[in-house]
Amino acid sequence: MVAMDGQLQQTLQAVMEDPSHSWEGQTLVSHALLGLEPTDASMVNEHFQSHAPLYQLAIDQFNDQPSASHFNAVVTACENCHLGTCPGPLERIAKRRAESSH
């Protein structure tokens, strides 16, 4: 999870530092969420199981067509799963949202 968060931050930073804020060539790794060993097994509930594939879909869509809106769809997928499993990091995840709409 920390790696997933770090990757969002790095991707966002790379795009913002690029003079044309281009999303071209950016890709995200999905980190095979369903195979992760959670530190707290009680958080891997039905909500988790149903949202992991939606997160994967958002990642695939971004990798197909990297853009600010697809990036934000990934952030939304993070948030949607977190709402029902582990709301703690929601505030931190919200900071990953891309502002420009290139």
Rule CB under 6 A: is residue 62 a binding residue for ligand HEC?
Answer: no
Asked if 37 and 70 count as a contact pair (C-beta separation under 8 A), the reply is no
d(Cα 85, Cα 51) in Å, to the nearest integer? 10
Residue closer to ligand HEC by CB (options 20, 73) is 73
Distances (CA, A) of 33 to 18, 25, 38, 55: 30, 23, 10, 9
> Which residue in 51, 62, 67, 98 binds ligand HEC (CB under 6 A)?
51
Q: Closest separation between CB of residue 16 and ligand HEC, Å? A: 17
> Which residue in 26, 62, 71, 81 binds ligand HEC (CB under 6 A)?
81
Q: Closest separation between CB of residue 100 and ligand HEC, Å? A: 19
d(Cα 18, Cα 22) in Å, to the nearest integer? 7
d(Cα 39, Cα 61) in Å, to the nearest integer? 29
Site residues (vs ligand HEC, CB under 6 A): 1-2, 4-5, 8, 33, 38-40, 43, 48, 51-52, 55, 74, 77-78, 81-82, 85-86, 89, 92-93
